[in-house]
Amino acid sequence: MARFRIEVNYRKGVENPEAVTVLRNLKILGFEDVTDVHVSRIFELDIKGSREVAEKTAREISERILSNPVIQEYRILG
């Protein structure tokens, strides 16, 4: 069995609505020194089988389910 951590982010130039909301609320609460917010999602998957096959499965899941390839990118962290 192999464990994979998958990080999903919005692509450069694509506005992340959650990050925009967090930044706006930080400003409202008086945190004026914060200039930008980046929000990522982390998924942990335990996949049975050989490491090679499991990594292929993790990549397919990332592309088909966990991210929207038009506006997001993913990284398999291990």
pTM of the predicted model as reported, rounded to 2 decimal places: 0.84
pLDDT at 78 over 80: no
**Dist CA 8 CA 77 (whole Å):** 11
For 9-67, write each residue's pLDDT tens digit: 999 999 999 999 999 999 999 999 999 999 999 999 999 999 999 999 999 999 999 99
Alpha-carbon distance values, 62 to 7, 15, 18, 48, 77 (Å): 9, 20, 20, 16, 12
CATH number at residue 25: 3.30.1280.10
Which residue range is the domain that position 32 belongs to?
A: 2-76
Total domains present in the chain: 1
Backbone torsions φ then ψ of 4, nearest 5 degrees: -125, 135
